[in-house]
Structure 1
Amino acid sequence: MEPTSSSIGQEHDLQNGIGSKKKTDVTDIDSIERIFESKKVPPWQSQLTLRAFVVSFILGILFTFIVMKLNLTTGIIPSLNVSAGLLGFFFVKTWTKFLDRSGLLTQPFTRQENTVIQTCVVASSGIAFSGGFGSYLFGMSERIAKQSTEANSAQNIKNPSIGWMIAFLFIVSFLGLLSVVPLRKIMIIDFKLIYPSGTATAHLINSFHTPQGAKLAKKQVRTLGRFFSFSFLWGFFQWFFTGGDDCGFASFPSLGLEAYKNKFYFDFSATYVGVGMICPYLINVSLLVGAILSWGIMWPLINEKKGDWYPADLPSNSLHGLQDVTKSEPITGNSSPDLPSLSYDDQKRTRVFLKDQIPTWIAIIGYLIIAIASVVALPHIFHQLKWYYIAAIYVFAPALAFCNAYGCGLTDWSLASTYGKLAIFVIGAWAGGSNGGVLAGLAACGVMMNIVSTASDLSQDFKTGYMTLASPRSMFVSQVIGTAMGCIISPCVFWLFYKAFDDLGIPGSEYPAPYALIYRNMAILGTQGFSTLPHKCLTLCYAFFALAIVVNGVRDLAGKNIARFIPIPMAMAIPFYIGGYFAIDMCVGSLILFVWSKVNKAKAAAFGPAVASGLICGDGIWTLPSSVLALAGVNPPICMKFLSRSTNIRVDKFLG
């Protein structure tokens, strides 16, 4: 958790021999919001400027091309929040400087407007991921169906068309926003969830707009800049060694080759080292416990049941056994404190966050209206998707959206694709293979994935807005406008790729869209029902479901002194799906902060968030030039791989 400004100031003064009677003055120096006190917070309507949305539209197109390219190649999408905040600042600052010199500037550029741009851009480009153009939506096409040996009938195929794609996205992309609006206070104020990317983006935006004159703030900004530069250059250096699959420092078997096979290694990710420095120790320890329990104990034991719990002769990528083809895409509660016990920054941020309320009744009525419209309209786009399937999804979707937003707040991982896959299996099994269940499952995946993805995105942006004093109303309106932009931009960009590349989606081509076939195969498997799952699969599911409830109950009943030593089940669950490597990264971040605190507690408290934000932001910004290089066809020149000694001898003999 980010240290409060008052505690930082007190420790800083004690270190410099200043008495406690000066605490108020110190808070004035160290508090971010006191630094901005001379700048009036504009009303929420003034934060939504025409120039902000013009810049957002341009950046939205740029980022959509980047996300679409990644969708159709690797299928793994990094967070673009930081890049959006930086480029938004650069464009509008350049614009306002020009107008200021011309004497035409009527409204100064504020950090709230910067936050609006970042929110709009991320909402727009996010549709390129949640829209399923590299997964479920493209998996419906005849081109992907031909690569599978079953379920190739006409009722299980729907080829892309720009008309129905835009209509589908407009129908399903706004429900997630409405589902999370009533929970924003719980997420941000009551639970004080971290949302590491949102927090880092807010630190960056605040540093861009910090007025001159605050001594500690200047040092914090310089520290952020230094580690930003280091992280960016480190990403650039690593790129040279990634010229192939499983190449580079991200595949470094730092704990040994056997541990690497079980996803235990340090992958040199500056982003997740920084995230680990921001997240509480308990979150990082919970992740590590989950990684050890899953990849250290459970999966190796289940692998020994090959031939008993699942067939022994299955290929490694089969969905009927112990497989690793469904990688995730780019993821503790306290009671609400009284305002007087908060730091000055938190008091002010809480007042602003709660001032411009979005009435809960508007969110509920809006959700019901859109849900009813979807129940009527979606069966006209996918006649295999019956109205009662859609109604069932909308009943459970708000709870799952909350779970995804909560998990993202803890660890920065959005597991939207996981919830989408759940819908594939449930609706596919309900519909059955003879009734177009494959297409019904894929369409249901789209409905669910859009809801839970946009919910976590908006929660992340609410956190950024909370820390930059941007109004929740302007955040919500910006997200709605950005989502509407994305519902048009993303299908158009995909249509360009689809028409320009005849081999789009074909293995071995420039754009193989690997996840499209995986999603289709999952939908085929889903139509066969739960009986096709490996033996003991549902038993393990029920057991861990019950265990999670028991552990959470014990945490709630135990006192704070005991609860802080009990792992959090939701954080433990994420490594089960992703692997242990990012948990190790985050624990390294925790270790750095812990050692730093032991050496110099005051400096660690004052500069820890700046160092963490710099690491996250620099690595995040490197995503942009690396994606541009990929779009231009510039590939890394070196593949750095690691082999065992025996394998290396065989390779030498083969090449010799």
Structure 2
Amino acid sequence: MDRDYKESSNDDVNVIMKKEEIERREEQGKEEEEEDEDEDSKVAAPAPAPAAWNKQITVRGIIASILVGSIFSVIAMRLNLTTGVTPNLNVSAALIAFIFIRTWNKILLKFGIASSPFTKQENTMIQTCIVACYSIAIGGGFGSYLLGMNKKTFELSGGATILGNTPSSIREPQIGWMTAYLFLVCFIGLFVLIPLRKILIIDYKLTFPSGMATAVLINGFHSRGDKMAKMQVGGFIKSFSLSFIWGLFQWFYTAKEECGFSQFPTFGLQARKQSFYFDFSLTYVGTGMICSHIVNLSLLLGAVVSYGMMWPLISKLKGDWFPADIPESSMQSLNGYRVFISIALLLGDGLYNFVKILHATLNNFYRKNILHSCGVNQQDKKTLNDLKKDEIFMREKIPLWFGVLGYITLALISVVAIPFIFPELKWYFVLLAYVFAPSLAFCNAYGAGLTDINMSYNYGKVGLFFIAAVSGKEHGVLAAMAACGLYKSIINISCILMQDFKTGHLTLTSPKAMLLSQAIGTALGCIVSPLSFLLFYKAFDIGNPDGEFKAPYAIIYRNLAIIGVQGFDALPQHCLQLCYGFFAFAVAVNLVKDLSPKRVGKWMPLPTAMAVPFLIGGYFAIDMCVGSLVVFLWGKMNLKKAELMIPAVASGFICGEGLWSIPASVLALARINPPMCMTFSSG
């Protein structure tokens, strides 16, 4: 069950988050859905049919989507540019959409203005639009392949001293080309799988656990009454206010880079030098509350192995393994080991899961198609409730010609336009991508429907390596990163749309409304995400490995492209052997998890989660483990209330401090500095 695994290479970590988050709620969700089905079968009078698709999309819903989607884009961008770890915010989006419209209706009622009822279809539409919007901030490459093109990442990767890392491979972020590129590579993903939606959702009955879990929550919001809603709204408002005020309070003590509560040496000054401290970030405490315990503990284990053991030991080999007269940030120094070993963990985990999902896809295809052709009927018996969902899902058809014509038209436009944005990426490589994209998108969506693991980030890396290898040393790095975004965006957007179709199927929402909502959200994301990125880029030191906004995946993606261009010559001494070891470790851990899932596998760490602290340290892993501790203790005291309130409280923590980043960025741009500096030194 994939829940983050949603890239920004983030993607890598996000897949885990999506996967693990659902496991915590899936049993409860299935039980609730079964109860709903039983109730439906007992009711004598049929429930009123949902409104027509154009009635499910409302003006207030679009306004709510624009406001909340823009805020979520800023929040996701901040998470993306700090640690690169972004939790799945689908639940938060559904909850805040519910809070927003309920509050809207109450305000209008106080003025004597009656408003139309808030339905679960409208809630689904708003949630779809919000998710589509902030997904561009996560998966649009702002913390990975797009940022990896800038001059700072070029210099951090070794500059012109590294073969293939040429000055011509620099492209500084600008609002114009980024917005145009996103519109070209993201919108086409909406048309890829439209003709196959019936096959994936109804014929193959794929579960898409992320979509199913969101549907269960939305159905719950509209069936459990006002008492639950009031509790969740109250919890969200309190945690949001606390987080926002705490962000404001901390700002007063951060006159310089090394000042503030984030510099507090929680475990002592020596531990702080190795990045082990609690930095008082309620954003990552909330993130830890959403993620499962195994994700957070894997992050902590990665921090202990890397910054607690390996990097101090390798540092002592300066002058032996790597030259003593080069800076630590060089790719030929300690930073090279950090980057390439984390890449080995990511590739080992990603490749294993890629093969696993491909095997599951082919195996499922065999059972459903080959056995069916032999006369073996494996169809499950459908309830009246299932038939009703299927009938509503297929009632308003999206014509086949619409999907085919839209895909071909946008593909032709992209083949012409993308080489103008990136002359290094030749038109025939773009055409080749669009020829293979539909089959790759189908395989990815099918696998995600079975396992909830969105592998689009892996397809993006395959495209990156292929284009890097065939484009030559002069232009290969820039062309490879542009191609990575092209492959990944098409495959990712189409998979997200299928997950949303599953949510719509279970909440009786029209597919036409879902498609239009996704299109509105995608367009909004293509405009808002570059703006929010440039807000951070102009206000803060993005990509500084010693600063707050480390953006660790930018250097990872650039070095992946460099490896694709020149091979393993880019690695420092003995790094290749260490990479082999950690690649094998990632594969072995996954094998153990699959071969013995109950006895040993449940104690195995997640290699992708372990890889993140190898680059940025352990401070945020400690924050997230504090979130896990809060969830654990709350569950021990009152499990029912904890399950109800944790998503609301965690969302408040994430949104409050995340929203504070907007005024903080404006103050930084206006050169208004905090009045005080709080720092710590040895006694």
Q: TM-score range by the shorter chain?
A: 0.5 to 0.7
Aligned positions of 1:103-252 closer than 5 A: 107-124=116-133, 126-127=135-136, 130-131=139-140, 137=146, 150=160, 156=169, 165-174=178-187, 192=209, 212=225, 218=227, 221-222=230-231, 225-226=234-235, 228-230=237-239, 232-242=241-251, 243=254, 244-245=256-257, 247-252=259-264
- Tell me the equivalent position of 2:265: 253
Alignment partners' CA distance in 1, 2:236 and 2:64: 28
Tell me the SS of whatever aligns to 1:560: coil
The corresponding residue for 1:613 is 647
- Taking the aligned partners of 1:580 and 1:513, their CA distance within structure 2 comes to 13
- 1:556 counterpart residue number: 594
Letter in 1 for 2:304: I
Pick closer, same or farther for the CA change 1:89–1:640 going to 2, 3 Å. Answer: farther
Alignment partner of 1:386 out of 422, 426, 431: 426
- 2:486 maps to 1:447: yes
User: Is the deviation greater in 359-368 or in 449-458?
Assistant: 359-368
Distance 2:673 2:576 in 1: 44
> Equivalences for 1:442-521 in 2 at 5 Å?
442-448=481-487, 450-451=489-490, 454=493, 474-488=513-527
2:346 match: none
Structure 1 pair 158/105, CA: closer, same or farther in 2 (3 Å)? Answer: same
Structure 1 residues 281 and 472, CA, compared in 2 at 3 Å: closer, same or farther?
farther
User: What letter is aligned with 2:249?
Assistant: F
When residues 158 and 637 of structure 1 are mapped into structure 2, their CA distance, relative to the original with a 3 A threshold, is: closer
Determine the structure 2 residue equivalent to 1:2. Answer: 25
Post-superposition offset of 1:614: 2.9
Distance 1:264 1:365, change over 3 A: farther
Secondary structure at the residue paired with 1:315?
A: coil
- Map 1:388-407 onto structure 2 (within 5 A): 389-390=429-430
Unaligned runs of 5+ in 1: 10-22, 650-656
The answer (yes or no) to whether the contact 2:120–2:222 under 8 Å persists in 1 is yes
Q: Which amino acid aligns with 1:2?
A: R
User: Which residue identity lines up with residue 119 of structure 1 in the other structure?
Assistant: T
Cα pair distance change 1:75/1:580, threshold 3 Å: closer
- Report the equivalent of 1:53: 62
C-alpha spacing 1:564/1:261, structure 2 compared with 1 (3 Å): same
- Per-residue deviation at 1:270? 4.1
| Change in 2 beyond 3 A, CA 1:209/1:562 | same
Corresponding letter in the other structure for 1:385: L
**1: distance between equivalents of 2:322 and 2:385?**
57
Helix, strand or coil: the match of 1:356? helix
Hey, what's the Cα distance between the residues in 1 that align with 2:533 and 2:515? Answer: 26
**Alpha-carbon shift at residue 618 of structure 1 (Å):** 1.2
Deviates more, 1:37-46 or 1:277-286: 37-46
Q: TM-score, normalised by structure 2?
A: 0.64
Contact persistence 2:53–2:510 (CA under 8 A): yes
8 Å contact from structure 1 (residues 265, 581) kept in 2 = yes
Partner of 1:13: none
Work out which of the residue numbers 335, 356, 364 in structure 1 matches 2:393: 356
Aligned equivalents of 1:272, 1:350: Cα separation in 2: 42
Counterpart residue type for residue 169 of structure 1: L
Name the CA shift for 1:625/1:57 in 2 (closer, same or farther; >3 Å). closer
Which residue does the alignment assign to 1:534? 572
Task: Kindly provide the amino acid, as one letter, of the partner of residue 603 in structure 2.
Answer: F
Who is 1:296 aligned against? 308
CA positional deviation for 1:283: 4.2
Q: Deviations over 1:183-227 (max 9, x none)?
A: 9879997584699xx96x986x778756647xxxx2685266246
TM-score (norm 1): 0.66
Picking from 664, 671, 675, the partner of 1:630 is 664
Letter in 1 for 2:471: A
Q: Give the letter aligned to residue 109 of structure 1.
A: F
Deviations 1:412-434 (A, max 9, x none): xx999999788667644643343
Shift in alpha-carbon separation, 1:206–1:291, aligned structure 2, 3 A:
farther
SS in 2 for 1:564: helix
Stretch deviating more after TM superposition (308-317 or 159-168): 159-168
How many angstroms apart in 2 are the aligned matches of 1:513 and 1:265? 17
Distance in 2 (alpha carbons) for counterparts of 1:506 and 1:6: 40
* Contact 1:176–1:401, Cα closer than 8 Å, also in 2: no
Output the amino acid matched with 2:425.
Answer: L
Is 1:313 aligned to 2:332, yes or no? no
Q: Is the 8 A contact 1:320 1:533 kept in 2?
A: yes
1:337-352 matches, cutoff 5 A: none
Gaps of 5+ in 2: 1-23, 344-352, 365-377
Residues 272 and 589 in structure 1, CA contact (< 8 A), matched pair in contact too: yes
Deviates more, 1:613-622 or 1:573-582: 573-582
Report if the CA contact (8 A) 2:463-2:480 is conserved.
Answer: yes
Aligned residues: 597
- The percentage of aligned residue pairs carrying the same residue is 39
What root-mean-square deviation, in Å, do the aligned CA atoms of Structure 1 and Structure 2 show?
6.2
Give the letter aligned to residue 268 of structure 2. Answer: G
Partner of 1:612: helix, strand, or coil? Answer: helix
Deviation per CA, 1:305-354, whole angstroms, max 9, x where unpaired?
Answer: 444444333323323433279999xxx99999x999xxx9xx98999599
Q: Return the alpha-carbon distance in structure 2 between the equivalents of residues 462 and 591 of structure 1.
A: 35
What letter matches 1:384 in structure 2? E
- Distance in 1 separating the partners of 2:209 and 2:543: 45
**CA distance in 2: counterparts of 1:271 and 1:468, whole angstroms:** 30
Q: Does 1:431 align with 2:468?
A: no
Offset at 1:624? Answer: 5.4
Give the Cα–Cα distance (whole angstroms) in 2 for the partners of residues 625 and 321 of structure 1.
37
CA distance in 2, matches of 1:225, 1:640: 33
How many Å separate the matches in 1 of 2:281 and 2:55?
38
Q: Deviations over 1:414-467 (max 9, x none)?
A: 999999788667644643343x33432442344356457657866886798799
**Equivalent residue for 2:370?**
none
